[in-house]
Structure 1
């Protein structure tokens, strides 16, 4: 992959990676996705995050589970970064009430695991 790759190109590759990965390899961290795609610095995590946001919009529009739920932060809490939740709220998939986000994320992740394209 080269620095000139567009976010739509990266999003297509991220979807393919997550769809073909075995269940026991998921969820993946943002860094693992970047490495699997061969992204080179700078801004590797930012580009992965932007690609995931695009996938979220596509999946919500198509009324599918968000495949982006299969990517988590390496912070150790097995949750995506805050941007995932902000985007899920903006897309109308999650309510603004953050108290519900963890439970809804776990449900979304399970649905995404079962519905891989």
Structure 2
């Protein structure tokens, strides 16, 4: 079992139980909430989010990964999120359209996943 595979279930649980008023959270907030310590905490969160995206795409569910954003990205996830979303056929590859798709997907994810 890889680190990303092991980290994905507790990360999903964290996101599902975080009050919607506190969402989205940053990669660092997710790492802190899960008690991760350096090195590579953000990378491990990103890899777990990619695992969750693959699971959600296979289940035809909204991406719970939309609930985690970059601290320095206009309130958006890191570029890897958009690259994988396009690769999975869920988002357009054109960056000019991705932001609108992201906000729509985030609203759907909150409705689908949040239990608070």
Normalising by structure 1, we get a TM-score of 0.93
Deviations 1:11-39 (A, max 9, x none): 11100000011011100000000000000
Q: Distance in 2 between matches of 1:80 and 1:97?
A: 16
Greater relative CO, 1 or 2 (CA 8 Å, sep 6+) = 2
Q: Which runs of 5+ in 1 are unaligned?
A: none
Q: Distance in 2 between matches of 1:60 and 1:93?
A: 8
Normalising by structure 2, we get a TM-score of 0.94
Q: Distance in 1 between matches of 2:93 and 2:82?
A: 9
In the other structure, the counterpart of 1:42 is 39
Aligned residues: 113
* Pair 1:17-2:14 in alignment: yes
In the other structure, the counterpart of 2:50 is 53
Q: Which runs of 5+ in 2 are unaligned?
A: none
Structure 2 counterpart SS, 1:112: helix
RMSD of aligned residue pairs (Cα, Å): 1.2
Deviant stretches of 4+, over 3 Å: none
In the other structure, the counterpart of 1:65 is 62
Would the alpha carbon gap of residues 100 and 76 (structure 1) be closer, same or farther in structure 2, given more than 3 Å must change?
Answer: closer
Task: Report the Cα offset of residue 98 of structure 1.
Answer: 1.2
